[in-house]
Amino acid sequence: MDYSTKDFWEDRLASDWTETGVGYRSLGKAFNVWMYRVRRFVFLRELQEAGVEVAGTSVFDIGTGTGFYVGLWKELGAGTVTGSDITSSAVSNLRERFPDSEFHVFDVSRPGLPVPAGSFDFVSAMDMLFHITDDAGHAQAFRNAAALLRPGGHFVFSENFLFGPEQRGPRQVNRSMHTIERELAAAGLEPVRHSPMFVLMNSQVDAPWLQRRGWAAIMRSATALGLGEPLGRALYPLEKRLVQTRSEGPSTEMMICRKV
């Protein structure tokens, strides 16, 4: 990531180290809380369905943010969880929140690791790779993830795998499934499981233009009217059902890969 992106997240997380600061800020905290409940459900379910054993293993989390996924790895029984973030403010807060874990300032989009290579059974990078706007940096992130893993280890991440045209903005790039699969293969990572993380409750990045605009308008209106909490509560059970019954979705998806 370039320095402007690092500074952006440093300022944002220093002022708002909550679900809203690391989440979809325009939807408000109440709705983001429900979105994180969906993330928790999908993450735990997908690892269980993949049949991988987490208990007693070593984990390295990239882009740790508030530590949400650190908590989930610990819930699954991981032996050690090491975290990292591009911002020093997040790392400082994480060290206070999880004194039994190690945290590093780490820009995954650049060469070089903060820990010895090949030290971990699992590496995760949740809800952050699409914020790497530099294509070379995005490919480097996959190489770094693979380098952190032992042979046969698993990389768990979420991305916006588009089947339509790639979407580029100053703070986010939504790349095609083809691009991501090519970068994974080049890094020696083989997909073993892939499923939607959201269907209705997150931005419809891989939907037709009108659907994307309509979703954004509805969500903005709900937030402005203070309806984020009841809307999230109402959508949560439906979203849980949808992510279990669909193999693809119009929003963020989760993938589990194995280091070949």
Q: How far is CA 232 from CA 110, 122, 207, in A?
A: 37, 31, 21
Note the pLDDT of residue 30.
85
Report domain extents, the chain. 3-259
Say if residue 20's pLDDT is above 60.
Answer: no
Residue 126: pLDDT band (50, 70, 90) is very high
Do residues 22 and 127 lie in contact, with contact meaning Cβ atoms separated by under 8 Å? yes
Do residues 174 and 27 lie in contact, with contact meaning Cβ atoms separated by under 8 Å? no
Of residues 4 and 42, which shows the higher confidence score?
42
Residue 13: pLDDT band (50, 70, 90) is low
Residues 226, 252, 126, CA angle at the centre, nearest 5°?
100
How do residues 133-150 score in pLDDT, each as one tens digit? 999 999 999 999 999 999
Residue 153: pLDDT band (50, 70, 90) is very high
In the chain, the percentage of residues whose pLDDT exceeds 90 is: 81
Q: Is 62 exposed, middle or buried (0-12, 13-18, 19+ CB in 10 A)?
A: buried
Residue 9: pLDDT band (50, 70, 90) is low
Do residues 175 and 169 lie in contact, with contact meaning Cβ atoms separated by under 8 Å? no
- The contacts of residue 100 (CB under 8 Å, 6+ apart) are none
Instruction: List the alpha helices (DSSP H) in the chain.
Output: 3-15, 19-22, 28-50, 68-75, 88-97, 135-148, 177-186, 209-224, 228-245
**CATH class name, domain 3-259:** alpha beta
How do residues 155-174 score in pLDDT, each as one tens digit? 999 999 999 889 999 889 99
Q: Residue 45's closest CA among 243, 250, 232, 198?
A: 243
- The contacts of residue 236 (CB under 8 Å, 6+ apart) are 34, 37, 38, 201
Note the pLDDT of residue 1.
45
User: For 14-23, 63-72, 247-256, which range has the lowest pLDDT when averaged over its residues?
Assistant: 14-23
Mean pLDDT of 38-67: 97
How do residues 174-228 score in pLDDT, each as one tens digit? 999 999 999 999 999 999 999 999 999 999 999 999 999 999 898 888 888 888 8
Mean pLDDT of 18-33: 68
User: For 5-9, 202-206, 219-223, 240-244, which range has the lowest pLDDT when averaged over its residues?
Assistant: 5-9
Mean pLDDT of 52-68: 96
